[in-house]
Structure formats: structure tokens, C-alpha cells
């Protein structure tokens, strides 16, 4: 699974950081999302999908989803 963020859509809510701190962090200067890693190991994939679902700005995109029955 791969994850990308659109910083211009981020509203600094921090939901992603609280949900998957191994993958996301907030920039100390502006509070916007940054990635700690863009390739997500399988054990973190559920947390990353949840973070994408919770993101109020829709700033997180997941590709190469590993769930059965999904194309990505």
C-alpha cells in the first residue's frame, strides 16, 4: 500500500497523526500533515485507511490497497 498527502487540503486536525503516528506527522511550522513514510507495511494498513477516512479535508490518498476485492 502507498499513501500520499495533499498538504493544500490539510486542515491540521491531527486525526491522521493520532491514528497512525508511524506514518503521519504534523509540520512544526504550519501544523500541516507530512509523511514519515509513503510505503505502508501491511501491519499499519488498517490504521492508514482509517486515517484517510477520518481526514476532514480529504488530504490523504491510499493506493495499492491490499484489501480483498479492491483495485488500487
pLDDT digits (tens, 9 = 90+) for 41-71: 999 999 999 999 999 999 999 998 655 544 4
Q: Which residue ranges form the domains of the chain, and what is each CATH number?
A: 2-63 (3.30.70.20)
Alpha-carbon distances, residue 16 vs 2, 60, 68 (angstroms):
15, 9, 23
Question: If you average pLDDT over every residue of the chain, what do you get?
Answer: 92
Here the contacts of 33-36 (C-beta below 8 Å, separation 24 or greater) are 33/5, 33/7, 33/59, 33/60, 34/5, 34/7, 35/3, 35/4, 35/5
Q: Can you tell me the mean pLDDT for 25-54?
A: 96
Give the pLDDT score at 65. 65
pLDDT band at 72 (very low <50, low <70, confident <90, very high): very low
pLDDT at 57: 97
User: According to the model, what pLDDT value does residue 66 have?
Assistant: 59
Amino acid at each position: 500500500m502507498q499513501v500520499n498527502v495533499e498538504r493544500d487540503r490539510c486542515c491540521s486536525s491531527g486525526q491522521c497523526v493520532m491514528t497512525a503516528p508511524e506514518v503521519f506527522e504534523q509540520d512544526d511550522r504550519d501544523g500541516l500533515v507530512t509523511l514519515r513514510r509513503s510505503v505502508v507495511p501491511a501491519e499499519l494498513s488498517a490504521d492508514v485507511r482509517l486515517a484517510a477516512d477520518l481526514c476532514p479535508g480529504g488530504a490523504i490518498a491510499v493506493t495499492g490497497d491490499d484489501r480483498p476485492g479492491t483495485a488500487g
